[in-house]
Amino acid sequence: MKSRRVQDGDIEGILAIQAACPEIAQWTAWDYDRVARDEMAGWVGEEDSGIVGFLVARKVVNEIEILNFAVSPNARGRGIGAVLLQDALSWGKTFGAVQAILEVRASNAAALRFYERHDFRTVGRRARYYNEPPDDALLLAANLA
């Protein structure tokens, strides 16, 4: 697996992974076009078969926010998510970000375990933040400094 920044031709592959991941925000092609145009930072994991994962983040003052992140269901558990997350955290460190933050569905136990293993801690909860299905959001944060 090789990881690299998102390019124009990646959008279809990203949308195919997103469609298989009801846990994440369902963005449009237009949203990912903004990523390809560097309005947000994005990485894809790529194998010979095509794109197997993606992560989108943005800089918010002295923090980075992870906005959308998924690995293809049949490619999970092989460290692809860890590589994409490290790419984003390393990017944050290049401009002195002190913290990484994100929101995750409170029911998303696999993602919560994954983030815990990468030193994120729960710093807040937004009741009934999500619809379809309704769920609370947990706000997680990890120190980068």
Ligand X SMILES: CC(C)(COP(=O)(O)OP(=O)(O)OC[C@H]1O[C@@H](n2cnc3c(N)ncnc32)[C@H](O)[C@@H]1OP(=O)(O)O)[C@@H](O)C(=O)NCCC(=O)NCCS
Task: Return the active site residues.
Answer: 103, 115
28 phi, psi to nearest 5 deg? -95, 170
Stretch that binds ligand X, among 8-16, 29-37, 111-119, 126-134 (CB under 6 A): 111-119
Per rule CB under 6 A, is residue 117 in the interface with ligand X? yes
| Alpha-helical segments (H) within the chain | 11-19, 29-36, 80-94, 109-117
Instruction: Give the interface size with ligand X as a residue count (CB under 6 A).
Output: 20
- Which residue, 39, 40, 43, 59, is CA-closest to 51? 43
Q: Are 64 and 143 in contact (CB under 8 A)?
A: no
**C-alpha dihedral (71, 72, 73, 74), degrees to nearest 10:** -120
> Which C-beta is closer to ligand X: that of 11 or that of 71?
71
Residue of 71, 97, 100, 137 interacting with ligand X (CB under 6 A): 71
Per rule CB under 6 A, is residue 69 in the interface with ligand X? yes
Per rule CB under 6 A, is residue 57 in the interface with ligand X? no
Residue of 14, 24, 89, 100 interacting with ligand X (CB under 6 A): 24
Residue of 50, 79, 124, 134 interacting with ligand X (CB under 6 A): 79
Stretch that binds ligand X, among 4-12, 29-37, 57-65, 108-116 (CB under 6 A): 108-116
Please give the structure tokens belonging to residue 138: 């947990």
Please give the structure tokens belonging to residue 40: 């947000």
Binding footprint of ligand X on the chain (CB under 6 A): 21, 23-24, 69-71, 76-82, 102, 104, 108, 110-111, 114, 117
